[in-house]
Amino acid sequence: MTVLEDRIAMAESDNTNTLDEMFERLETMPVPEGYKVEIVEGFVYMSPQRDTHWEIILDIVEQLRTKYPRKRVKSDVRIDYPGHLNGFASDVTVMAESAAKSEEGRWSHEDVEFVAEVISKGTAANDYGPKKAAYATAEVPVYLIADPYQRRCHLYTQPKNGEYITETKIDFGDDVDLTGTAVGLTLKTDDFPRD
């Protein structure tokens, strides 16, 4: 191992330990029921689950379950992503069939095939900014943002060099065609509520 590789490994190790310490502290705090907690670029975000938000998440999960077994579809489960202190609890995540938890009991971003985030006003900048960059850097093949304020979805595919090459905008009511992606199905958005 070169000195540079050793330093990178140490930095990544320190990042994980620091994230672990941050989440351990959060677990001892009185976080209100129904709040999602994430760490994005070292900042802690807590957001309440809104009805519109939950209905879209549930709709996406139910449609994914027509193809994927329950154990591959996750919601609000911590997965650490590349970058400075990124411990996300994505709204919807699909894991690869071969995915297995680490010895610490966590899933790896290398096994993520699909992520969907539903926009909340307070954290929208994260979903469109640092989280999108982290997902692209992790080479998550498909990233979907459902935005009830814009009444549209943003589909990002083809991650390369920390960016998504392709963005497709789909209005609520139109189908999100994922048949040519790792997901391999079409999501209906007819019943997605609007804000």
Tens of pLDDT, residue by residue over 158-178, are 999 999 999 999 999 999 999
pLDDT tops 90 at residue 43: no
For residue 173, give both structure tokens: 């009511």
How confident is the model at residue 6, as a pLDDT? 37
Determine whether 89 is exposed, middle or buried from the number of CB atoms within 10 Å of its CB (0-12, 13-18, 19+): middle
pLDDT 10s digits, 120-137: 888 899 999 999 999 999
The mean predicted confidence, pLDDT, of the chain is: 88
Confidence of residue 16 (pLDDT cuts 50, 70, 90): low
Contact between residue 50 and residue 120 where contact means Cβ atoms under 8 Å apart: yes
pTM (two decimals): 0.83
